[in-house]
Amino acid sequence: MSPKLAHMNALASALDFDMGKWWAANAGNYFGRVPKDRILEAVRDGVSPQAADNLRSLKKAAMADAAAERLAGTGWLPEILRTAKPAEAANLPVAAE
């Protein structure tokens, strides 16, 4: 983890900031902009491997819509938007000024 990302995680944890309360992935803002493999990875991570396998044969637009539908309400976020849990954040290095 980069020092900037570690600093961001420490700050978000200290503020108890949860990006999932403010943003959710959908076909327009995320799934339509990433490769199909990333869409399948998201569904695998947020729902199940079986749910991801069921989408494998779809074209990209249909896959993006289906992924958004399956992940709606799960709180799934791309890794870069996830905040470290308080126990994890306590062990993160603080970026130098």
Report yes or no: 89 and 11 within 8 Å, Cβ to Cβ.
no
Average pLDDT, the chain: 86
User: For 62-79, what is each residue's pLDDT tens digit?
Assistant: 999 999 999 999 999 998
Strand, helix or coil for residue 62: helix
Residues 83, 14: Cα–Cα separation, whole Å:
10
pLDDT at 3: 84
Residue 89 has pLDDT above 50, yes or no: no
Residues 54, 20: Cα–Cα separation, whole Å:
25
Residue 10, class by beta-carbon neighbours within 10 Å (0-12 exposed, 13-18 middle, 19+ buried)?
A: buried
The mean pLDDT of 32-49, rounded to a whole number, is 98
**Reported confidence tier of residue 94, pLDDT bands at 50, 70, 90:** low
